Structure 1
Amino acid sequence: MNYDVREAIATAERAAARSSQPEHAFSNSLSDEILGRDGLRNRYLQDADAGRGTADITGPLTSIEQSSVLRSGSFSTDVRGSPFDGESSFKERRDK
């Protein structure tokens, strides 16, 4: 059970403890905490909607780089002998 749900239950328990009708106070408070205007359901749905963007401005660049890697084995901007190349001295034959 996540912390948001635990907090909603704890809030409902506190409301019930202060009420002359604890069962009604508990259920009403829990309903508000979960299904109310600012409840968990709506907050979670808003969070989910915020992460659904499908536009990717780097899409064409990613596609170009994928093609380059598949075609040549390296990125299109990779320069031979650059300071970022791997260290290959361990690959040299030692039995010369």
Structure 2
Amino acid sequence: MLPLQAQTGCPSDCVCDQPPNWKTEELTLYCLREVEIQNLRGTEHETALMKRLFRWATVLEKMTVTFHCSVADSKAKEFCQMLRSFCRPEISIKGQRFA
């Protein structure tokens, strides 16, 4: 029996070293009805993800967003308004601050 050797890292051609292409990936999340996101800061990357999530989750009904404690109430309200501007009208969006 050969002794097990510890692997020090992935090979150079490993898929985990490649940048993710989630911004161009087309998915269908046809069972996702409710989403809860915590510690949202309202960054550009988070906004991009949310836009895609609304497009991918074809039966989404409810989204609850809890903002990081560093996010001001005014910025949280503004972010929720922006989310409502690009989601389907039947999706309920609730925003709250992390306590």
Query: Which of the pair is proportionally richer in helix?
Result: 1
What TM-score, normalized by structure 2, do the two folds share?
0.19
Structure index of larger Rg: 1
Query: Which of the pair is proportionally richer in strand?
Result: 2
Higher relative contact order, chain-length normalized (CA < 8 Å, sep 6+): 2
What TM-score, normalized by structure 1, do the two folds share?
0.19
